[in-house]
Structure 1
Amino acid sequence: MAWTARTSSKVDVFPKGHDSLDELPPAAPGTLVVRGANGGIRVAPDAGFDVVFGRCEPDVHVCVGPDDPHVSRRHGHITREQSRWVLYNTGRLPIRFPGARLVLAGHRAPLPVAHTPLFIVAPEREHLLEVRIVARTPGASPAHRHEADTRDPAGWRLSPAERLVLVCLAQRYLRSEPWPQPLTWAQVADELGRLHPGDPWTAKRAAHVVTQVRKRLSAKVPGLLEEEHPPPLGNALNHHLITELLATTTIGPPDLRLLDEPGPTPPGPR
């Protein structure tokens, strides 16, 4: 969907329909981009503008959880303070950062210069509020920074087979289900087996694919190795891996199409 500017050059509104925040036009370093259920807003760092989000669309700039009365009508805002964007939770429910960190009612938290999915933690489900702060590209000249800063985030490189297995494993997160957990290996093998009946998917094979990804990323991402967690381990390893892949936009809701497209399995380990 095409970009639509409705306000000034420093505060722009865009409609629902963008698959990625990185599809938006060039923006200066420090620019804040926020997307909710029905579109979003982009604010320059020197605009002097607070972004208000919550359930009641007429009263906020970004709507989130419009059909959930547990979400406050004005649940919070994001403001610029001392060269940083800061999240304020003025609602009743906590706001969760990727992982387990919670910003409780009445609390604040600085936002990283990155793409950060935030979740309002309601009793029946979590509501996604996507936030991106445009980074400065090291070494880019001023004349080219606008163009460089809107390149797609690097994310993590996945093979087609790894992406297929991880999307299947993480589908509850990608569908924004309440309190999502990774599928079991048996569930992953069963679903991939039905999707690709000519290929012998097993729980062991699916686990091996994901384990290799965890080990590859563990050199730069904490929390992906068994020895980093106290027992009982549960789903901690897969949960942390999925959270990392979501936070870096390595996988996203558009990847769910892989689970609707029967065909030969992409080449990968067996």
Structure 2
Amino acid sequence: MVLAMPKRSNKVDILPKEAGSLAHGLPPAQPGTLFVMGLNGGMSVAPGARFDLLFGRCEPDVHVCVGGNDPHVSRRHGYITAEGSRWILHNTGRLAIRFPGSRLVLGGHRAELPVAYTPLFIVAPRQEHLLEVRIATKAATRNRAERHEADTCDADQWELSDAEHLVLVCLSQRYLRQEPHPQPLTWAQVADELSRLQPGGRWTSKRAAHIVTDVRKRLSPKVYGLVEEEVPPPLGNTLNHNLITELLVTATIAQSDLALLDGAPRTSES
């Protein structure tokens, strides 16, 4: 069965792949509009459209394709529909869908989507597949440079310096690459990778750890679980894991930031 794609209208619209990550902002939209993005593009659905947005592996059978090359993902893995003013995620596939952190929506179950940017992950055996979801609250600026010039910045994102942003993307890359059961890189791994990326940056394990610790301390008054006193032993990677989860949930870092590790120029000043 080939799914008929909706025609462009003021209620339902197609998002081209070139639109980029929803983490970086939205085009002007009515508050409550649903945006969903996969690797090959996505869709927006305005409130009151009475439209069930289907997602899954088989591109001809869904509105948004996710996990297209993974046979573990169901052809139609789920759908998102409106119930009053709420958007509800329905998992009709076999694999669980993970919210940021550890919350799972199992097959046959449903969950309300928060009014925010929400990266969802279909948990396959060898890889987690990203489905970006965002519900519009107000017009948002499109990238980091524009956010600095805007009158008001997105309230749900944390401001980071360029050095902080780079270190945290490097530390978090296993999460951003959607590896199963990801853990932060070690400080030695971070320092080694950043030294190869910026040979003159004087990167050391101590410097990387100091930068991340400063970010944790700065966010800790508003985010629980970023200081030792709030986490029972053994600590392990818990503090950095909690920090990474917060940055992912708030879209402070996103999958597209992995381009920074491919040689994109950034300052090394801390």
State the Cα distance separating 1:8 from its structure 2 match.
2.1
Contact between 1:173 and 1:181, CA under 8 Å: does it hold in 2? yes
Query: What CA distance in whole angstroms lies between the structure 2 residues aligned with 1:223 and 1:264?
Result: 30
Q: 1:126-171 CA deviation, whole Å, 9 max, x = no partner? A: 0000000011xxxxxxxxxxxx433453411111111111111112
- Map 1:15-94 to 2 at 5 A: 15-21=16-22, 24-94=26-96
Q: 1:21-64 CA deviation, whole Å, 9 max, x = no partner? A: 25543110110000112110000011011111111111111111
Letter in 2 for 1:175: R
Q: Could you say which residue in structure 1 is the equivalent of 2:146? A: none
Letter in 1 for 2:21: S
State the Cα distance separating 1:263 from its structure 2 match.
6.6
Query: What CA distance in whole angstroms lies between the structure 2 residues aligned with 1:109 and 1:13?
Result: 24
Query: What CA distance in whole angstroms lies between the structure 1 residues aligned with 2:266 and 2:132?
Result: 34
- Map 1:83-232 to 2 at 5 A: 83-135=85-137, 148-151=138-141, 153-154=154-155, 155-232=157-234
Letter in 2 for 1:40: G
Contact between 2:12 and 2:45, CA under 8 Å: does it hold in 1? yes
State the Cα distance separating 1:9 from its structure 2 match.
1.6
Q: 1:96-154 CA deviation, whole Å, 9 max, x = no partner? A: 1000111111111111000000000111010000000011xxxxxxxxxxxx4334534
Q: 1:58-80 CA deviation, whole Å, 9 max, x = no partner? A: 11111110011111111111111
Aligned length: 252
Query: What CA distance in whole angstroms lies between the structure 2 residues aligned with 1:262 and 1:9?
Result: 38
State the Cα distance separating 1:206 from its structure 2 match.
0.6
Q: 1:235 to 1:12 in 2, by over 3 A?
A: same
Q: TM-score, normalised by structure 2?
A: 0.87
Q: 1:109 to 1:208 in 2, by over 3 A?
A: same
Letter in 2 for 1:25: P
Unmatched 5+ stretches in structure 1: 136-147
Q: TM-score, normalised by structure 1?
A: 0.87
Query: What CA distance in whole angstroms lies between the structure 1 residues aligned with 2:7 and 2:198?
Result: 46
Contact between 1:94 and 1:120, CA under 8 Å: does it hold in 2? yes
Q: Could you say which residue in structure 1 is the equivalent of 2:149? A: none
Contact between 2:21 and 2:37, CA under 8 Å: does it hold in 1? no
Contact between 1:167 and 1:255, CA under 8 Å: does it hold in 2? yes
Q: 1:264 to 1:242 in 2, by over 3 A?
A: closer
Q: 1:262 to 1:50 in 2, by over 3 A?
A: closer
Q: Could you say which residue in structure 2 is the equivalent of 1:10? A: 11
**RMSD between aligned residues:** 1.9
Unmatched 5+ stretches in structure 2: 1-5, 143-153
Deviates more, 1:119-128 or 1:187-196: 187-196
